[in-house]
Amino acid sequence: MKITNIDIWPVVMELDEPYTIAYETVNSTTNIFIRIETDRGIKGYGCAAPDLYITGESPEQVQDTIKGIISSIIKGNDPLRISFIMEEIKSNIENRPSTTAAVNMALYDILGKVANLPIYKILGGFRNFIKTSITIGILPVEETVSRAKILVKKGFKSLKIKGGKEIGTDIERVLKIREAVGPDVELRFDANQGYSVNESLKFLEKVKSAKLELLEQPTHKRELDQLGRVTDHAAIPIMADESLMNLRDAFKLAQKDLVDMVNIKIMKVGGISDALQINAVAKSAKLEVMVGCLDEAALGIAAGLHFALARPNVAYADLDGHLDLRNDPSEGAVILKDGILYPTGKPGLGFNLKNF
């Protein structure tokens, strides 16, 4: 079997509810969808969710890279030689993680269709579903509490609260949410690099009664020593997100025992293949893993879900980036019921894009 063609097209998706985090307000996202065709008629689909701040890519850069370098590399190759193709791509481009992620997931999609199996079963099939948190952006206290109540009524059992702009308000929001939703809903907090070490520890002390499940990326991504100091003195698990971009970052965090957990995002690390390697480092260091996401279509969420279902130490999921997107052409690529995510059960990533 050989790759005969590769098509791409951008899709701009508005958010039903724009949200604010420590460093930006998001109103829409552009994903680049990809279709890889083979001489046997099997097609693989993927998508890229570029983000200048996180992945360092623009939608235009993704398209130019795939049309130019990547297309010339993969045409004529056997799509089942995933490792070979990805090494060829990486040797020709650097710092294009969501671009490589799109190609990687499309190749896995072909693999699953050839095997007539969902990807998560090919990769290990540890579980069949996983609970996901849903994110509440930075809002005034009353709006935050109202939003939390609505989400719990919809069946979500885990809430991730964004903060990092003003510690006093963050403390109040967390305490008020806990009071509103009761003791059984899991609460996670993401400071998005907004705190100093002292602020992080002060925040944790003040919200102790809220029983947070974890604190995500409290300090700046490049200040690993500060992240380690928070971890050393915190009473709850500390998780790295923006500080983890690749396999080398995972090794540094694990080697120096700087965190308790890591957030692996398919778009951020470059695909399912790299996520599996990073997960292996995390497991060897006894670090728990969360699979996260950016503002990405349901097809991208499906890739993260299949990875999460395959490995036992992926204990947490934050796969909600698709929920507020309008006109997502891959809507239905994952199934959500009462805060639990399920794959479609179909071969590959479980979804074929239509009308493209």
Look at residue 22 and tell me whether its pLDDT is greater than 90.
no
164 touches 22 (CB < 8 A): yes
Q: Is the dihedral of CA 68, 71, 72, 73 positive or negative?
A: positive
Indicate the fold that domain 3-116 takes in CATH: Enolase-like; domain 1 (3.30.390)
Question: Residue 30 and residue 241: Cα distance in Å, rounded?
Answer: 22
Given the residues 43, 121, 160, 162, the one annotated as active site? 162
Chain segment 202-227, per-residue pLDDT in tens: 999 999 999 999 999 999 999 999 99
CATH class in words for 121-343: alpha beta
Q: Where are the domains of the chain?
A: 3-116, 121-343
Q: What is the pLDDT of residue 25?
A: 77
Question: Residue 28 and residue 15: Cα distance in Å, rounded?
Answer: 5
Look at residue 75 and tell me whether its pLDDT is greater than 80.
yes
Chain segment 281-315, per-residue pLDDT in tens: 999 999 999 999 999 999 999 999 999 999 999 99
Kindly state the helix (H) or strand (E) to which residue 186 belongs, with its residue range.
strand 186-190
Chain segment 27-58, per-residue pLDDT in tens: 899 999 999 999 999 999 999 999 999 999 99
Q: What is the pLDDT of residue 190?
A: 98
List all residues 6 or more positions away from 153 whose beta carbon is below 8 Å from its beta carbon: none
Q: Which residues of 178-206 are buried (b: 16+ CB within 10 A; e: fewer)?
A: beebeeebbbbbbbbbbbebebbbebbeb
Look at residue 355 and tell me whether its pLDDT is greater than 70.
no
Catalytic site includes residue 162 = yes
Q: Half-sphere exposure (CA, 13 Å, Cβ side) for 274? A: 29
In single-letter form, the type of residue at position 286 comes to: K
* Residues recorded for the chain: 356
Q: What is the pTM assigned to this prediction?
A: 0.95
Kindly state the helix (H) or strand (E) to which residue 3 belongs, with its residue range.
strand 3-20
Given the residues 265, 268, 346, 354, the one annotated as active site? 265
Q: What is the pLDDT of residue 21?
A: 79
Tell me the percentage of the chain whose pLDDT exceeds 90.
Answer: 95
Question: Residue 44 and residue 31: Cα distance in Å, rounded?
Answer: 16
pLDDT tier at 195, thresholds 50, 70, 90: very high
Catalytic site includes residue 265 = yes
Q: What is the pLDDT of residue 27?
A: 87
* Token output for 282: 């995390």
Q: Which residue from 193, 200, 262 is spatially nearest to 54, judged by alpha carbons?
A: 193
214 touches 237 (CB < 8 A): yes
